[in-house]
Structure 1
Amino acid sequence: MTVPIAVLPQKEGDIIRPFRLDIGEDIRMLLRPDAELKELRNALRRYAHSAQYLQALSQDDSMRHEINGEPAQA
């Protein structure tokens, strides 16, 4: 990454915020030029299928977020 991505936790204990659908393209734009797209896809898949992410997504007041951490528009 060339800059931190606000929607992702930066340290242990940070809130898990579900990201909006198709956010991978926005994140891809922030990758270092030598980064592998396959690695990004695998990392996003692992993160989005983690127990913590799925629990955050299943909450009644859950909402998806943009790359900057702000709530996504419905």
Structure 2
Amino acid sequence: VITLQLFLTKDDKVKFIEINPRFGGGVPLSIKAGANFPKWILQEMLGRETNIRFDNFKDRLIMLRYDGEVWL
């Protein structure tokens, strides 16, 4: 599992901003669509069969995010 953040400079060089050993922020959408990466990784680590099917994902899902505070 890795998250890369980078950009391309005006002179076509790749500059890395961050390299992190974690899932990216969009992973909840992938999981909701049926791509349960955390489950599959754990199954692999435990030596179990993953049974990943690529014909059973949900299409046309939209994930919205917002930032908000609650003050009490």
TM-score normalised by L of structure 1: 0.26
TM-score normalised by L of structure 2: 0.26
Choose between structure 1 and 2: higher helix proportion: 1
